[in-house]
Amino acid sequence: MAPVDTLAIETDGLTKRYGETIAVSDLTTDVERGSVYGFLGPNGAGKTTTMRILTTLTKPTSGTARVAGHPITDRESVTRHIGYLPEEPPVYDELTGREQLEYAAGLRDIPDEKAAARIESMLERFDLLADANKRIEDYSKGMRQKVGVVQAVLHEPDVAFLDEPTSGLDPRAARTMRDTIADLADREMTIFLSTHILPVVDELADVIGVLHDGRLVAEGDPETLKTRAETGDARSLEDAFLEITREPGERERPEQPAE
């Protein structure tokens, strides 16, 4: 286990129940500062619930967690140190892209001059300068996604939770997004990355956690997960993911003889 002062996220027995349904079960893991943690799982595995707990939006049923050195019960302290991009970016249609980011900077108390410089730089990086003064209601899904990511990291948080950050992006914009995530990690920002696009995780993640039916069923660096599948012949992260999350009793269908 890593020393506590090197950890950005710590969870111990984190559990969330909705009546008889267990969304997250006994999640225990550590995420080191300045790393990219790839969080994978099938639909309904509990990934979004976990992210909502760690960002203080949902209370766990039991267990504990600390984010950026603060217990998640201390919501004010945690939220000062994190950024969050949910699957649907929280933006106001009536604002322009620039106004949305200026509003986000104001909420984070970023000084005006510093905010203006950061906004300009990120708008340029994501090829949004030409559309910065257009209303968000006229933006495409990909453009809204870019604004959502920028406002999540504009205040340079200690930990950024990104849920499907490349959703809706064309290949060039997706490449920019991956490069940006790598740059942020190089500057010691911890990235908690949830996505269904496995090559993105394979490229960026230092450690991957696989959630299945609310439980953390595998964890390790990409190469370790590729070689730990039960079949022993996984050649890609996709192969490993499918093997790890295979339902009990599920088997490959035998090949049918040729007629």
Model confidence over 164-199: pLDDT tens digits?
999 989 999 999 999 999 999 999 999 999 998 899
- Averaged pLDDT, 145-153: 96
The encoded tokens of residue 179 equal 């490069």
Residue 64: name the closest of 19, 15, 21 by CA: 15
Question: 44-75 b/e with 16+ CB inside 10 Å = b?
Answer: ebbbbbbbbbbbbebebeebebbbbbbebeee
Any domain includes 27: yes
User: pTM for this structure?
Assistant: 0.90
Any domain includes 97: yes
151 and 206 part of one domain: no
101 and 204 part of one domain: no
| Per-residue pLDDT, 259 | 43
Residue that wins the pLDDT comparison between 24 and 253: 24
Confidence at 138, pLDDT banded by 50, 70, 90:
very high
145 and 162 part of one domain: no
- Strand residue runs (E) in the chain: 7-18, 21-32, 36-40, 62-67, 70-71, 82-85, 159-163, 190-194, 207-212, 215-220
Between CA 193 and CA 149 the distance in angstroms is 12
| Per-residue pLDDT, 37 | 98
Any domain includes 254: no
CA angle (155, 160, 164) in 5-degree steps: 125
| Per-residue pLDDT, 239 | 84
68 and 163 part of one domain: yes
| Per-residue pLDDT, 249 | 54
Largest Cα separation within the chain, whole Å, is 74
Does residue 232 surpass a pLDDT of 60?
no
Between CA 149 and CA 234 the distance in angstroms is 33
The structural domain count of the chain equals 2
3 and 65 part of one domain: yes
Cβ proximity of 241 and 210 under 8 Å? yes
Residue 177, judged by CB atoms within 10 A of its CB (0-12, 13-18, 19+), counts as buried
164 and 60 part of one domain: yes
Any domain includes 255: no
Confidence at 93, pLDDT banded by 50, 70, 90:
very high
Any domain includes 190: yes
Q: Percentage of the chain surpassing pLDDT 70?
A: 90
Any domain includes 251: no
β 159-163/190-194 pair status: parallel
Q: What share of the chain is helix, strand, coil (3-state, %, to 5)?
A: 40, 25, 35
41 and 121 part of one domain: no
Confidence at 238, pLDDT banded by 50, 70, 90:
confident
Mean pLDDT rounded to a whole number for the chain: 91
Any domain includes 259: no
150 and 210 part of one domain: no
129 and 71 part of one domain: no
165 and 230 part of one domain: yes
Any domain includes 24: yes
Confidence at 146, pLDDT banded by 50, 70, 90:
very high
- DSSP string of 157-193, one letter each residue: -SEEEEESTTTT--HHHHHHHHHHHHHHHHTT-EEEE
Residue 31: name the closest of 158, 134, 187, 198 by CA: 158
Between CA 230 and CA 232 the distance in angstroms is 5
pLDDT in tens, 26-78: 999 999 999 999 999 999 999 999 999 999 999 999 999 999 999 999 999 99
What three-state secondary structure class fits 249?
A: coil
40 and 2 part of one domain: yes
5 and 65 part of one domain: yes
CATH number, domain at 11? Answer: 3.40.50.300
- Residue numbers of the domain that contains 95: 91-155
What are the residues facing 18 on neighbouring strands?
A: 21
